[in-house]
Amino acid sequence: MVNDQFAGKVLQKIFKWKSFELRDENGELVAKAIQRIFTFGVKIDIYDFLERPIGSVQEDILKSLLKIQTVYSIFNG
């Protein structure tokens, strides 16, 4: 919610491999995200409503002597 107004919703596609859709308040598709299958760590490609790439999210696992930390990097398309 933006300023207590409905901004949209994210829907997961049931029968697709980790696919999500972002829809606005009118139910119109704004963007979609699809997780890649064969990668080391999580990599999600993000597309606009015309299916043009607009960015991606990549999981990076950082290991140190004391702990393992997961960081997600966001990239422009």
On whether residue 68 sits in a domain, the answer given is yes
On whether residue 2 sits in a domain, the answer given is no
Which is more confident, 14 or 21? 21
Determine contact, residues 16/10, Cβ cutoff 8 Å.
no
**pTM summary value:** 0.68
Number of domains in the chain: 1
> Which pLDDT score is estimated for 4?
64
Determine contact, residues 10/18, Cβ cutoff 8 Å.
no
Q: Indicate the pLDDT class of residue 1, thresholds 50, 70 and 90.
A: very low
On whether residue 1 sits in a domain, the answer given is no
Other Cβ atoms within 10 Å of 44 Cβ, number: 19
On whether residue 56 sits in a domain, the answer given is yes
- Write down the H helix ranges in 1-77: none
Two tokens at 67? 């702990």
Kind and range of the H or E run holding 46: strand 43-48
Two tokens at 29? 């598709």
Q: Check pLDDT > 70 for residue 16.
A: no
Domain span at residue 67 reads 9-76
pLDDT tens for residues 46-60?
Answer: 999 999 999 998 888
Percent of the chain scored above 70 by pLDDT?
Answer: 77
